[in-house]
Structure 1
């Protein structure tokens, strides 16, 4: 069964989608990380769904510090810079949606649908 992953980012400080934020996808193995994709959120704060080849531990890294700096909401030093979200993926579970709700000072995630 194909495993797919999607994400979206909401800027909760302004109540808008976080467009043009860089997001990386990594696969974690015992002692190393395998880079899978670099994505940029669209005007809805979304990226194209990714197909995952295997069950295991994955990590999304959201570059929120650069996003808020570009949008003039965060000075230096940045309180949040990169936000990693590490999560497990099981075979047979189909689709994973891992959104990020973020402000310059806090973030939250959950497993969506």
Structure 2
């Protein structure tokens, strides 16, 4: 089975996005897990082992920026990704600013 983690960095301050709420769901919208990033902006082991399939991570970006009195353009960022057959670890980082974001498959 596969494991999943994420890491959120605030590109405007160059620091981890600690305290961001993140949810994991399948494509039907069924919630599979949730959590909040730690002080290093990481959320490890969002859920138990995941079989192959398509999943969504939803980052509560507007809520996070609002808690810092920063206006932002995106109310949330949704990253949809595919876990292929086989076993492995999948890491989905998010680089974030109030008006842009970027993601990639990490290691």
Q: Does 1:52 align with 2:49?
A: yes
Q: Does 1:85 align with 2:79?
A: yes
- TM-score normalised per structure 1: 0.88
CA distance in 2, matches of 1:51, 1:111: 19
- TM-score normalised per structure 2: 0.93
Q: Determine if contact 2:2/2:49 at 8 Å carries over to the other structure.
A: yes
Alignment length, in residue pairs?
106
Q: Which residue matches 2:64?
A: 67
Higher-Rg structure is: 1
5+ long unaligned stretches in structure 1: none
Q: Determine if contact 2:23/2:59 at 8 Å carries over to the other structure.
A: yes
TM-superposed deviation, 1:45: 0.2
Q: Which residue matches 1:18?
A: 17
CA distance in 2, matches of 1:69, 1:59: 23
